[in-house]
Chains A and B, each alone.
Chain A
């Protein structure tokens, strides 16, 4: 944006940033970046992992103060002292790293700060759940139990509660940092309907996502960030051009070709009598070199299946055969050491995978410390070499291997989690939404990596909240419905529409 154009945009904008900079230690997250979003507009913010999107949103949302530059509301500079202050200015934010309080109920989380109260002030605790139920129902959400603890519901459900908490306050400025990262298509459609409602009522919406189809379907304008700087704002731009601007280079066609599964490939993982919901049972087998997709609507037991195969907690009564031998997987250590090694890359990197205060290196080498040590002493040189290699191979953007993982951008944290299991050299990989929050270029690298891993004869069980990925990256897709396999799709029938149709068949009837 030219300076004059920036000034013009700023003066009419509901919310704007004027040349804001922000550094974390040695990392310059934002360099005098301009940004402006008008009332009634859906403004998408896109860029690679670590480009500074979340940092900008934290500045606009009052979570962090800028080092220099200013935040403007309706053309007037303001100093936001915190998120509560921002809320008083009509700003509501859904942060990338979710902020639900795990040991409080869905209702307490949803209504925090606006609990139903008696005349003299005390909160009516008994009225919380019914009120939450009504509020959620008003937004079209009936499947989330307001009495459950936040830690008891799935990540997608948590994301929905988080979004609901912000939009019921009807903010004038709504900041959404990757709100769709673990949502499936129907939930995304739900969110977009809510966004359209709000923007029609004059709310300025800032939205970030790494899924281009979402950007094109919801955004009125698109601002691209690279390396903490704004590189352009567009009313419309095609994907290739946008990616070139985001990455500074050309990235080729999105989905790489699948390596064929050899006809005689042995089954490395066989599952029978697995019950995901205590009722109906399912079974399947996964061959070496195969990528088997698991599709279906949210909450159909994918998570239970993936966690179960990793023993966290185990699937009751399931018969699991690994590399031809019956195996009992009662805990993650059993899975890691089972015959060929089973690795799980989970969705909730904050809660289930990473040790945020520890360094990138420590997080990477955690499962292979046994191999890395001699007589109980870790061989530092080998550890450093291996972690440097994997950082380079996955393009993890970090000042160095000693950086705490908690200080990396969301997408880069996800890469650390993935890198850990590549180092561990497991032969059976359970990839649960591994591209969650990962930028386009890195997604492409992960896709290629998956193909390479499959080509080497590793078996991959793959779940993605992005149905397109399932359709393009899998040899077969099993669609789950009500804890059973509803359909198995293979080429040429394997397409995103077919997966969605199979997943919803009796959702429409019922």
Chain B
């Protein structure tokens, strides 16, 4: 008998490396493809109507408008990876947006301290979700639905009427209106993601989402990991809230409400599995940009904003069905 008792006689046909990479990242690749397509369609419509290609202004405003959603979607991704879902996104953004509009003022040092405190407030909100889900063993959807209302209520207390102000210097630092410099922050987020992917925490997040029981049997501290996931997500929503305030140069305690839904849309479009364990922040960022592009396209198609959510939903359904089909093709082509 040969030395290796498990070797197969027939040459063990291994799939080429490229096939593994394609198959294991089909969600991300699909998201990038849809994004490219939507950019082309938008650019085409823009060119036809304006007689030129979208320039600095259009690109900058698209990036600046997408920043809050992209950040919220990254947070949502981290939660969804653990087989959770976070509906409190909107409430946390409302609250942090209101705080930013009221307290951002004064010296640079003061503004930095205030910004950090707001991020901490978001993290604290996430921590509450995490404790209830992790320690309390409650359903994420129920917990975050409840905290969504709580945070929304708090936001109204903080800022009963839209208003407040964000200093112009602060705005131009985060969301320069002439150049898409905010992309730097997204690049930082992507870098952070790569770091997470290469850390113990990242491995644990994915492990829990893959199979919670198996992860525990492998020694993963599931409760702690869940708590950390919701907390990081909360901090990211806070950053989204700050960006939103900077963009609007003022605050509104209801402006974040829509992000609960759109962050989930972006995550799904970005190829993150709602069953957990599969997905990436880069995909979520793509998903966020796709969502914005859809809105832009609808605008240029002169579609009544009242029907906007109808079309958003339609695109989501098409993308999900399409994604499922592609996934099946990749698997059966093995």
Tell me, yes or no, whether A binds B: yes
> Which of A117-125, A210-218, A235-243, A330-338 lines the interface with chain B?
A117-125
Quick one: given A83-B217, A121-B199, are A104 and B9 in contact (CB under 8 Å)? Answer: no
Q: How far is the CA of A298 from the CA of B220 in the complex (A)?
A: 32
Q: How far is the CA of A93 from the CA of B219 in the complex (A)?
A: 11
Quick one: given A83-B218, A187-B6, A507-B7, are A102 and B210 in contact (CB under 8 Å)? Answer: yes
**Residues of chain B contacted by A313 (CB below 8 angstroms):** 332
**Residues of chain A contacted by B24 (CB below 8 angstroms):** 105, 149
Report if A141 contacts B (CB, 8 A).
Answer: yes
Is A101 touching B217 in the complex (CB atoms < 8 A)? no
Q: How far is the CA of A267 from the CA of B334 in the complex (A)?
A: 33
Main secondary structure of the interface of A (DSSP, over half): loop
Is B198 touching A125 in the complex (CB atoms < 8 A)? yes
Report if A432 contacts B (CB, 8 A).
Answer: no
A-B interface pairs (CB < 8 A), number: 128
Who on chain A is nearest to B276 by CB? A103
Question: Which listed residue, A63, A112, A483, A507, touches B207 by the CB 8 Å rule?
Answer: A112
Q: How large is the interface on B (under 10, 10 to 19, 20 to 34, 35 or more residues)?
A: 35 or more
Report if B138 contacts A (CB, 8 A).
Answer: no
Q: How far is the CA of A507 from the CA of B14 in the complex (A)?
A: 18
Quick one: given A82-B219, A101-B207, A104-B207, are A141 and B199 in contact (CB under 8 Å)? Answer: no
Report if B304 contacts A (CB, 8 A).
Answer: no
Q: How far is the CA of A93 from the CA of B218 in the complex (A)?
A: 9
Question: Which listed residue, A105, A125, A193, touches B197 by the CB 8 Å rule?
Answer: A125
Question: Which listed residue, A98, A108, A160, A507, touches B8 by the CB 8 Å rule?
Answer: A507
Q: Shortest distance in angstroms between A114's beta carbon and chain B's nearest beta carbon?
A: 11
Q: Shortest distance in angstroms between B48's beta carbon and chain A's nearest beta carbon?
A: 43
Report if A147 contacts B (CB, 8 A).
Answer: yes
The 8 A CB mask of B45-89 against A (1 = contact, 0 = none) is 000000000000000000000000000000000000000000000
Is A297 touching B203 in the complex (CB atoms < 8 A)? no
Is B198 touching A103 in the complex (CB atoms < 8 A)? no
Chain B positions within 8 Å of A, measured between CB atoms, are 1-10, 12-15, 17, 20, 23-24, 195, 197-199, 203, 206-207, 209-211, 213-221, 273, 277-278, 332, 334
Chain A positions within 8 Å of B, measured between CB atoms, are 63, 82-85, 87, 93, 95, 98-105, 108, 112-113, 115, 121-125, 140-143, 145, 147-149, 152, 160, 186-187, 189-190, 193, 277, 297-300, 313, 481-483, 504, 506-508, 510
Given contacts A85-B219, A100-B214, A504-B9, 20 further A-B contacts (CB under 8 A): A83-B217, A83-B219, A87-B219, A99-B211, A99-B214, A101-B207, A101-B214, A103-B277, A103-B278, A104-B210, A113-B203, A123-B199, A141-B4, A141-B6, A149-B23, A186-B5, A277-B10, A483-B10, A504-B1, A508-B2
Question: What are 23 A-to-B residue pairs whose CB atoms are below 8 Å?
Answer: A85-B219, A93-B217, A99-B211, A99-B213, A99-B214, A101-B206, A101-B210, A101-B211, A101-B277, A103-B277, A122-B195, A123-B197, A124-B198, A125-B198, A140-B4, A141-B6, A142-B12, A143-B8, A145-B20, A148-B15, A481-B9, A482-B10, A483-B10
